[in-house]
Structure 1
Amino acid sequence: MFFHRDQLSFGIVLPAQTRTLADVQFDVQLGIAGHADRLGFDALWVRDVPLNSESYPDPIGHADPWVFLGALATATSNIRLATGAIVLPLRHPLHIAKASLSVAALSKGRFVLGLGSGDRPSEYEMFGRDVESRKALFQTHWERLAAALRPDQAVINEDGQVRGDFAIRPSLQGTSIPMVAVGSSAQSLEWIARNAAGWMTYYRSLSVQKDRLTLWRNAQTKVTTEFRGFGQSMVLELLDKPDATYEEINLGGRTGRRGLIDTLSAMREAGIQHVAFNLISEGRPATEVMDEIAADIMPALR
């Protein structure tokens, strides 16, 4: 995993391309993924966006996450592959289990399964689901999925009974596939701390995020003695001006490298253990920005 106590690890959100009305540029994104792997980034994050709409803030036509992850598994060697996040109530848990085990096998155990509830009523309607049922659906689907991904790979039917006459293959690679909650998933923090290996949330100003961290620690204290990681996504516009001060933008920041080092250092001190960069640096190729992060920022924080 990429969650470690008192440490900060770094991920890249894919696709790393201009936020315009366009489909994923597969060759470009696989090149970026390989570059991130060689530079020593810790994770690549892939989103699950079943449908596009003019009302959505992100116009990119995202690829099917499982197809994309299969390509990423063969294009990389060391970096973790994570979903941020599979919309659990809109997909059957046994299908997710099959896909997860396949990606884990293809990537030789590098897969991290991030799961969310989704929050778009119109999308639920298109899939014949009631958005008001997402809390209960998330919990029951999580239970069946977790059972299929544990060492005995139990197959549970709709009634909650283990069906020994069925099996899911391929076999589990290693001891487990980490399951991470992304966003609130319509659950309490106590539920997330009890069931998930970690919690990935959205960017907030650090003063606000510190309050979330306090709530997260309190929730863990109530339900578990095991370590549970905390991470966040972050829109980043890294300027080609090292001394540019940090300025907050929607869901992230615009800054030079020194401002980013100071900001990330404060995040680490607050207890954030992973940051997934959503690169939007205008006029700078994603690979150039990643080079600067790897050469000047990651060493300063490790």
Structure 2
Amino acid sequence: MTALAFGILALLLVGPAPALLARAQWPLRAPRAAMALWQAIALAAVLSAFSCGLAIAANLLVPDANGHPTTNPLDEFQSLGPVLWTIYVAVFLLTLVIGARLIFTTIRVGVRTRARRSAHRQLIDLLDRLDRTDRSNPLYARDVRMLDVDEPLAYCLPGLRQRVVLSEGTVSRLTRDELDAVITHERAHLRARHDLVLEAFIAVHAAFPRFVRSRSALAAVQLLVEILADDRAVRAVGHRPLGRALVACADSVAPRGALAVGGPTTLVRVSRLSDTRSATAVASLAYLTAAAILIVPTLAVAIPWLWEISHLVTAPR
């Protein structure tokens, strides 16, 4: 029953729950709470999947009279029956595959993304058109680079050597307040390390089988990180400068591994700037739900397993 409960919970947290949350409108008013809930769902889904596998492993290695586990899962073939034993083994192997895919995807995404950023960082440092001798230039900063491009470009490159990349087209189109909004937006991404949040969701999304995972989860999280950066820019310069800057940079694109100020979510983000409704109640409920999603499964796993471990340790040899 424990394995079944955790298996059902993992399926719900990977499929239906993200699909429902992605269609909700309240995360636009409480993005920080929504992000906490998304992270809790992702982490609880992984923990539930592993807990399901561990519970099945416990059934395949039933302790003997002295409290020691049997050393061969085949010993339980007769007691469980061929059908149930086959299901247990199949689910346990699927759990191992998910764990291996999660580790592999995390490493692959991290290595490839950082290689792209390093190569692109070297390129923009060579192509930088900003006059570094003019310290009176309002754009003068260690992390800002400007490219000789007429199209509006504005994005950031996270990492140890962070960069905020602007094009001359962006600088010429925006007023000083609007430019400050763009730079503040990109620096908010860098300061909060939103790139790591996205990498984690990419890894979790790729780890689970396609027929159970939600396609909308990653897109919803990408929108939330942009909204969180927007809110930081609003606190710095106000709603109107940011709104005008977002419209001007709506067609801005970025290389893979970077975070652009524009993109397909611009219309939604501009629309929400006029929504001043309080979201305190829904944010509090989201935080409580996130805590419950994490704490309840963790306690349900930790307490029985701590009891089993103590029983094994104290069992007579």
Q: Which has the higher strand share?
A: 1
TM-score between both structures, scaled by the size of structure 1 = 0.27
Of structures 1 and 2, the one scoring higher in RCO (CA 8 A, sep 6+) is 2
TM-score between both structures, scaled by the size of structure 2 = 0.26
